[in-house]
Structures are given as C-alpha cells and as structure tokens.
Structure 1
Amino acid sequence: MDNIAISVEHVKKIYKLYDRNRDRLKDALGFSKKPLGKEHYALNDVSFQVGQGETVGIIGTNGSGKSTILKIITGVLNPTDGEVKVNGRISALLELGAGFNMEYTGIENIYLNGTMIGFTKEEIDEKLQDILDFADIGDFVNQPVKTYSSGMFVRLAFAVAINIEPEILIVDEALSVGDVFFQTKCYHKFEEFKKMGKTILFVSHDLGSIGKYCDRVVLLNKGVKLAEGKPKDMIDLYKRVMAESKMEDSPKKEDGHAAIEGVAWKESMILNPDKQEYGDKKAEIIDFGIFDATGKITNTVSKFEECVLKLKVQFHEDVLNPIFAFTIRDLKGTDLTGTNSLIEGLEPGLIEAGTTLTVSFRQKLPFQKGQYLLQLGCTGYNGDELEVHHRLYDICCIQVLSKKVTVGYFDLNSIVSCNEE
C-alpha cells in the first residue's frame, strides 16, 4: 500500500427503487413479508487502484457510476459491499455546494472547510491569501455564498480544495461551471500537482482534458468497470460504447435483435431532441453521420485528424444541380465555418425524383477542443431564385479532442523556429 494512494476492491453500491413511497415505508418498518423495492446496482464489483503521483480519469455515460465511486472514495457514501483504502490526505471538489454552508460568507466557509480537513486556524491563516488570490472574487468573499453566481461559487470551492496542500485531489464535473480562463488556471495547477508528485483523480465529460492530463483512464458503464488503460485506448472504447448504446435503442427485428444492417447512421449519433428544420422537401436529408479516421460513426473527433461527414439525401422531385452544405457553430450560435458542394466545385446535374444520393465531405477539423453544433442543408436554384429544400439546425453536437490549446476557435498549426544571428 506504500505506493498506492487509492485502492478500490470489489465495491458495490445498491439502491432500492420503489414505485410508490408507501412501499418504501412498508419496507422500512418491516410490514411487508417480501421486499417491495427493486435493487439497482449503481456500482457492481468495481475494482481499481491509483498509484501515488498518478493522474487517473474516470469516464462513462451518464448513470455509469462515476460520481458514486468518487463519493465512496471520499467517504460521502458507504459502499454496500467491498472495500476502499486511501493512503493520504484527500481534498475533494465533488459538486457545487458540497461542504459549504450557504448562510456563511466566503471567508467563513474557507475556515469551515479547512477545519473539517484538519487544519488549525493558524495554518488556514497562512494559506488564506493564496486562496483569495486564486479565487479572485474580490469583495464578494465577505458576502454569504448564497448570493454567489455558480461561477463565483466554483472558483472559491476549487481555490480552497487546491490550496490546502492535499496529497490526493479528487474533482468531479464541477470545473465545467467556471469560465475558460479559470479552467485554464485550474489545469495549470493540475500540472503543478503532477510535477510535485501529487495524486489526482477526476471525472470529466471533456475527453480532450482526459486525454491530455491523465496517465491512465478507468471506463465505467452501467455500474460496471469495462476496462482501464491508456487514455487514447479508453476514449476509443468509450466512443464504441456510445455507438453500441445507440444501437441498443434502435428499432428491433421480429426476433428481438437490433436491426444493425440498414440502421440509419444518425441512430448511432447523439442527436439534439429539439432539432429545428424547414424546407419544401423536394429533397430531404434522411440520414447523416460523422465518421472518424477508423471509419467509426461518432460525435467525437480529434483535432487535425481526418474525418468524413456523410449526408444521405432522398429526392421527391426532380432537382437540377442541388447544393449540399454544412455549417459548424459554437454553442452561442455563431457560425464558425462551413462550405457547400457548389463552393467546392461539385455540380451533380439533374437528379430525378426517387433518387437517393450519398454526399461526403472529407476534411480535417482545426478547432480547439470543445463542443460545437452542426447544421446541414440541401438547396438549389430555380432560375435566379434560391430554394431551400431541407435544412437541419443544431442537429447534433461535435466534440473535438486536442492535447494542444491555442488562442481562439482555430488552431493555425504554426511551425515555430528560432535561429541565432
């Protein structure tokens, strides 16, 4: 155990789920001869170890048990079965509001949290200025935290967690609340911790950060550990799990098996349930998909890695030289880039009714890591008048992964040299 910071052995966490509150009460009072609730395994026989000085990420779909395992490691929850051993002083940032008294001021909460971790008032006094400088919330530190914005709250919470010199830092998705500059500062602190030989365990949906900062990754799915290993391998496996999960939700054949052959590409994508569309439907985008460098359908691509966007367009009427287009936006709705088949020099001629075309856009995305929105369209000219046949707005999200972060939305992929005169 000397070189192991965290050991998780065969951990289970079982919750009882009830259809009615009165059934829960009957079970609790022992009035029922048989259990009325159904057992739900939030975690089922999960085991892994984190070595001292390692940065380990935990990834998985929603409901896979990521936050539950962190809460068990930090002692917020008790496991139903199994054992967790921790070798070192933990500082944890699990969720917004955890460990803070909403009626206390920021200063009072700093002392409260420090005392709970085991510091004396004098020791907290020594660290106070570092905490205030890192949080950078000004005079609000003297106001009750219930008056804080979510961004201010997480700044203070992370400043406390990161500046009390923990041997083990545990972070859940809370960082996603902070602005990009604060997140950058936090990740710089991560790098400092790594160089100091500290242990970091964190959960994130930001696969770019997982790939960049983690030495190893644990992949959970539906409460079970699927695998652990190198970040790139686990991210690739996670993408396959996401695709397979979509397949499970796709239409079934009469024998009950998923109709894999003939399943629409979009059934393997993470789609926007609130899509917007319009057009005269002379031509209709009936399917689409993003394919990574290995040919797998995915919403996740790596920066500068070749990918292919495919559209399947069905024509209900004759259309002369239809134009196929895509646009990529940021989450605020700003158009960042896009192109269409006319710009790229493709003129398909007269497409007759009843025809289905597959259109492919092959490119490398130069975007910074983050999430973007995809728009698709099929238009055409009737004389000098542009007709919109079908447009899909914000139809799905594209997650871009990258270990390198430059300024702005795009990476210019500069080559820098330095020569002595």
Structure 2
Amino acid sequence: MENTKVKKKGYGKGWALIIYAFLAYFTATAVGSAMNSASGILAGLRGWSATFLISLISLGSLGNIVAGFVFGKLSVKHSAKKLSLICFVIYLVAMLGLGVTTNLGMFAVCLVFANAISCAIGYQLSPVIIAKWFPKKKGILMGIVTMGIPLCSGIAAMIYNAGYKSMGPLGGFLPFMAIAAVAAIILILFISDDPKDKGFTPDNGEFREVDEEKKEGTKKDSIWTTKKLLTTPQVWVHGITLGIQLLFASGLMVQLYPRLLEIGFDERTAGMMMLASGLLALPGSYISGLIDQKIGARKAACTTYVIGALAMVLNLAGNVVCVWLSLACIGVVVGGAANWPASLCIEEFGDSFANGYGIIQPIIQIVGAIGPAFFAMIAGKTGSYRIPYISGAILMIIGLICFVFLAKPNFVKEEEAKYQNQ
C-alpha cells in the first residue's frame, strides 16, 4: 500500500541548501578574487614578486580542472556531503597556510590547493546535491546560488583589505575562512545527500513511498562510465560549446578595465564600472535562472550567446549609454556561464547527473581557462582592445551556431535506449 506524504510549500528545508550553495559558490571565487588585492600587499610585505603571485591564479585554474575531475568521479560512488566536508577541512588548512607562511613555495602550494578545493566544493559537489533536491526547479535555484560568484568578485578585495588592516597577513584570509566554516556547519546540520533523509520532498512535490518489492529492479547501474562519457561525441560537443561562454566571460572580464581606458574613461570611472560589472552579474545570474526555469536550460543557453554578442556590439559603439548596457549584458553572460552546465546536465542525465557532470564540467573549465590568454594574445598582436571585443562577438555567434546545430538534445536517452536494445 502506498503512503502519500503531505506536499510542502515554498522551498521548505531547501532554504538551507540555497544558503549553503550560495556560500559554496562564494567560497569557490574567494581565492582568485582576494589575490587581486593580496598580491600587491604580500609582495611589499614579503619581498615577493606581485606578478608571480598573480600568475599563481592561472596555476590554480589548472588545479580547478584536476579537482573537478577527481571529485566529480568520486561523487558518483561516494556521498557529495562527506566529500564536501573533507574539502572544507583541506581548504581551511590551505587558507591558514596562505596567512602564516613566509615561504614562497609553500604559499604557492597552499594557493593552488585552496583554489582547486574550493572550486570542487562550489562548482562540482554542490550541484550534485542540488540535482537531488531540486531536479525540476534547478533553474531558479542555480540562478540564486550562483549569485555568490559575482558578489565575491565584487567585494573580495575589500574584505581582504579590511581583514589585513585589522589583523595582519592572516587576518586578510580569516573572513573567507569564517564564511567557509559557516557553510560547513549548515551542511552538517541541515543538509543530506537525499532530501528524504531530512523529511523533504524533491521540488516540493508529492512523494510516494512504494512497496520495497516494487522498487526491486527499478534502479539500474548507469551506463555512463568514464570511458563511455569520454567516447561519446555529444559529451565533448556540449562541453566545448558551453565552454565557449566561460571562455568569453573569463577572457573579456580581464580585458574590460584597459578597454574602458581605451574608450576614454578615466581610471576612477573605469574602476567604478568594473565594480559595477561584477555587481550587475548578480541580477544577471538570477535572470539566467528565471529564463532557465521558463524555457529550459538548452534554450536559455542559446539566449546568452546572443546577449554576449550584443554586449560586444554595444561596447564597440563607445558611448556611455551603450557601454553601461554592455556591462549589464556581460553580467547576464557571466551568470549564465555558471548556470547552464549544471542545469543542462540535470535535464539530460537525470539520476546519472554526477556521472555526466563530472566529465562535462572539467571540459568546460579547460575551454574557459583559455579565455584570458586568448584575448590577451589578440590584444598584444593588434595593439588594441577593440579587436578582442570584435573577436568576442564573432566567437559567441560561432558558439551559438555550433550549440544549436551540433549539441543534440536527448542524446543521453538515445544512448541509453541503444544500450538496452543490445
């Protein structure tokens, strides 16, 4: 006999997950964003090279890819909650090391570990939990929680500076450690891998418990092994095409400040606009989530290719109104680039989300890591930041065409159907 539980309204206990995931994404952005300010301060304090310290962020990006792959595969067989807690411990130790060490080599090791592990917490493991709690409402959820990324980008330098002035080198990193500790406590007390363990129904919908004998045989091992994923062309197509949006977002943000100076804005105004661009990505993330919830992740991803190209056209116009509109558009793309990978993998892979996301997300990260070097190379060859922005518009149009015509919907179901018919 089936036992029906009462339908819950609102996000219920899911609010704990929303707050946790928001803090997890904030934490994932903290190291790189804080180093924008910390590099100069620590260079003067320790006698290190500020340029070398900045370059360590790129090395940390390679660590992100490795950590994403490792923890993506571990989350297929092991609890994402337990893996996250292990990562939090490593992160706190690494951040402590950043604050106290006077050895440059040790600082470099700590930075790479802190950056990589924090990205595993935010980008890789939190979506695994979200996929189980909100498989259908993931669009708006991802729109909310990824707001932690631009928020941290906008205020991390101020947080570091305030901490450093109050408590010295370690004090600069302590606020970020405190935020991570709060996230870990929320995870321990209120969140489980399966929402039913907390008395919560996925997506707030009606949950029916069926007889155990009816459950037998319904759960099958996923066909999506690492080998299967790596040998399925559509996995690579989705990873590369979605990675173009991350390449665009990461590469153009690096070029934004000098581009604003080139247009004719003074340093103070350009700095203010840079801060505004990060804050504009906050509503950009939420808007991306709303679009996702209304029309689905696949169609929503198409809109951000168009918005990205539009952002470049507006920026190239050069007048104040168009430049501000371009910043708003870039904010939507930055938000979407963080939303679509998880949301689309939830739609496509369903119960095998951890399997698919564990491979597709690292592919996206690899493509995205090329962004800063790609646009910097164009700027260096041409001697202008105008050409990289033209290239950005072309890139997004190419990305849209490739995504629409090459990234096939329902490829997961088709592959699973082939497997069952063998």
TM-score by length of 1: 0.25
Hey, which of these two has a bigger chunk of strand by percent?
1
RCO greater where, 1 or 2, for CA within 8 Å and sep 6 or more? 2
Hey, which of these two has a bigger chunk of helix by percent?
2
TM-score by length of 2: 0.25
Larger radius of gyration: 1
